[in-house]
Amino acid sequence: MKYILAFFLLTSSYLSAQKYFTEKYQPFNSQIESPESFLGYPIGSEHTRHDNIISYFKDLAKNSDRAILRFYGKTHEGRKLAMLVISSPENLKNIDEIQEKHLKFVDPNIDLEANENDVLIINLGYNVHGNEPSSSEAAMLSAYTLTASNNSEVLSFLDNSIIFIDPTINPDGRDRHTQWVNSFKGSPLVKDPFDIEHNENWPRGRTNHYWFDLNRDWLLGINPESQGKLNWYHQWYPNVVTDFHEMGSQSSYFFEPMKANGSLNPIMPKENYIDLNNLFGEYFSKSLDSIGSLYFTKEAFDGTYPGYGSSYPDLQGGLGILFEQASSRGHVQKTNFNEITFPFTIRNQYVSSMTTLKASIENKIRLINYQKSTFKTAISNAEKDKIKGYDFESLDQNLAKAFIDKLLIHKVKVFEKKPGSYFVPTKQPQYRMVQSFFETYEKYRDSVYYDASAWSVANFYNIKYKPTYKGYSDNEINSIDKFVKWSTAKKSEYAYVVESHDYNIPALIYGLQKQEIVVSSSFKPFKIRTNEGIKSFSYGSLVIPVKNQKVSSDIIHRAIIDLQSELEITVHSVKTGLSIKGIDLGSR
């Protein structure tokens, strides 16, 4: 009898938990497992690890003809980055043709009218900050609703869009936080804000493996999580992108529009941050009103920096939308408004996710035309601009390679004028990205804004550049493969010398020191005869002596040529320590 009672109580809790979130979208296909059924616990009673989220998505893709699971990269710690692609079976069958037509809307050279049969591309992105965990749980609920519900509204979403659900943009950070809160979860639950469950030890779960804030990396694209996402992004150019976050526990819920002055981006169409944000805001307010959730708009946050998850899509003709949920930072926490529970935070994010789909589908034609207009006005605005492009130079091939790599990942066109000299035209579909890379804005309507907004990427890379009023269109660079010219260092029994200005010098030093090879640095310039002739070396150039090392000359040479192959860096062999000019190699 006690086992029957236990089963009844467990089943009742599953049904009530599911009803709390998804009741609106009944009926559901009983052949598709809910997150609660698959995971073995009600959503919100535990924090779900990334691998379990992916396992659930695999199960949905296996059992539903509405879903396909794709992977777009791996994190530093080797966790897979996934997209669950959801649409009607017919759309999924024709996904390549849909993609091909959608990309015509972002080509300013093609005139194509949007119609009711066109399919919208929507990216529901979650959990870029690992210790803001409610949205990944909402991602599972959204995926379940879209794959299992036979509600007429949901079916309309599927017919009119392809929805890419990215459940965990930052899996490494999420799992750090998940391990913490699940480990320190009390029984009974502890609401005290000072309890250990609600106060992670440093480095906490916000950032990725290397403590990099991935919500600042959409522009720089330094990390594999961001590089994978950017590569995917420019294959699809979604019309709508969500960016779900959490904020302090004493707050409520935020959705755009943002703080008015902070939203006035000088290069963005006003239709984006005024018209569309206000339009979508009406949908969010109605849906949150219906469940009694408090919220605010326009008081905080800004989209000034182009590298946020809610601002980068704006530069690509999409509508990026920021959501901020007051955090339970654990399972339940006492606040000035009584208490905030993890399931409550999840429900707000889930409701906003589904409302995003509703608002998008009901404004499908407008969103497609807006994206088309964004790229067409990029060309027309560039034609009005007196500046026709930017010339930049770099004697450091690896620095130029790194900078050009960032241009190419954002689909910015770049041309080589001569070795070491390059040109980026303003008249191109990514004109706004060109502005973001090269222009420096010194005046803002508001003296206070969020952070990271002095954003000239060219200055970040210390690139010498200048605007030009004359165009150039020969020798386009399409790849950085074999970009750097270098030759394998010949073996020396005396020393090796490396010029200091190479972008990969720090990596070379690390690689040598890791193998216990001593490296010196010159504090003054010198000129010396090398294996390739007489060469001049500037301040900080490296000297790698062969003698008095812990390892043999053969091991040193092998280490150098291996690192050369990896880093594409020039290393010079020398037979003497006597310089032609300047200090000698044994200088003190």
Q: Range with the lowest mean pLDDT among 14-18, 292-296, 351-355? A: 14-18
Instruction: Look up residue 339 and give its two tokens.
Output: 């208490």
| Confidence at residue 17, expressed as pLDDT on a 0 to 100 scale | 67
| Confidence at residue 3, expressed as pLDDT on a 0 to 100 scale | 40
pLDDT, average across residues 564-569: 96
Count CB neighbours of 370 within 10 A: 21
Predicted confidence (pLDDT) at residue 454 exceeds the cutoff of 60: no
Q: Range with the lowest mean pLDDT among 6-10, 204-208, 356-360, 487-491? A: 6-10
Whole-angstrom Cα distance, residue 401 to residue 147? 44
Instruction: Look up residue 127 and give its two tokens.
Output: 């959990």
Whole-angstrom Cα distance, residue 310 to residue 321? 5
Whole-angstrom Cα distance, residue 473 to residue 120? 34
pLDDT in tens, 481-517: 989 999 999 999 999 999 998 999 999 999 999 999 9
Exposure of 466 by Cβ count < 10 A (0-12 exposed, 13-18 middle, 19+ buried)?
Answer: exposed
Whole-angstrom Cα distance, residue 102 to residue 177? 38
Q: At what angle do helices 2-22 and 342-362 cross, to 10 degrees?
A: 40
| Amino acid sitting at position 536 | S
pLDDT, average across residues 21-25: 93
Predicted confidence (pLDDT) at residue 44 exceeds the cutoff of 70: yes
User: By percentage, how much of the chain surpasses pLDDT 90?
Assistant: 86
Predicted confidence (pLDDT) at residue 78 exceeds the cutoff of 80: yes
Count CB neighbours of 286 within 10 A: 12
Residues in the chain, how many? 588
pLDDT in tens, 289-330: 999 999 999 988 888 788 999 999 999 999 999 999 999 999
Whole-angstrom Cα distance, residue 50 to residue 179? 11
At 148, the pLDDT band (50, 70, 90 cuts) reads very high
| Confidence at residue 161, expressed as pLDDT on a 0 to 100 scale | 99
Predicted confidence (pLDDT) at residue 470 exceeds the cutoff of 60: yes
Place of tokens 């044994």: 586
Whole-angstrom Cα distance, residue 31 to residue 149? 11
| Amino acid sitting at position 560 | I
| Confidence at residue 502, expressed as pLDDT on a 0 to 100 scale | 92
How are strands ordered across the β-sheet holding 80-86?
67-74, 80-86, 161-166, 120-125, 240-247, 319-326, 253-255
Predicted confidence (pLDDT) at residue 419 exceeds the cutoff of 60: yes
At 474, the pLDDT band (50, 70, 90 cuts) reads confident
Predicted confidence (pLDDT) at residue 452 exceeds the cutoff of 60: no
Query: CA-based angle 484:487:493, to the nearest 5?
Result: 140
Instruction: Enumerate domains of the chain plus CATH numbers.
Output: 124-132+175-377 (3.40.630), 385-468 (3.30.70), 495-582 (3.30.70)
Closest CA to 221 of 78, 403, 444: 403
| Confidence at residue 442, expressed as pLDDT on a 0 to 100 scale | 66
At 455, the pLDDT band (50, 70, 90 cuts) reads low
| Confidence at residue 13, expressed as pLDDT on a 0 to 100 scale | 43
Average pLDDT, whole number, for the chain?
93
Q: Is the peptide bond before 257 cis (omega within 30 degrees of 0)?
A: yes
Place of tokens 């998008």: 360
Question: DSSP per residue over 225-263, as a string?
Answer: HHHHHHHHHHHH--SEEEEEEEE-TTS-EEESS--HHHH
Q: Are 31 and 63 in contact (CB under 8 A)?
A: yes
pLDDT in tens, 97-120: 999 999 999 999 999 999 999 999
- β-bridge pairing 240-247 and 120-125: parallel
| Confidence at residue 4, expressed as pLDDT on a 0 to 100 scale | 42
Residue 215: phi and psi, rounded to 5, are: -85, 10
Residue 436: phi and psi, rounded to 5, are: -65, -30
| Confidence at residue 48, expressed as pLDDT on a 0 to 100 scale | 99
DSSP helix, strand, coil percent of the chain (3-state; round to 5): 40, 15, 40
| Confidence at residue 16, expressed as pLDDT on a 0 to 100 scale | 59
Q: Name the residue with higher pLDDT: 318 or 265.
A: 318
Closest CA to 304 of 261, 349, 256: 261
Predicted confidence (pLDDT) at residue 15 exceeds the cutoff of 50: no
| Confidence at residue 153, expressed as pLDDT on a 0 to 100 scale | 98
Closest CA to 221 of 207, 206, 211, 231: 231
- The neighbouring-strand residues paired with 466 are 391
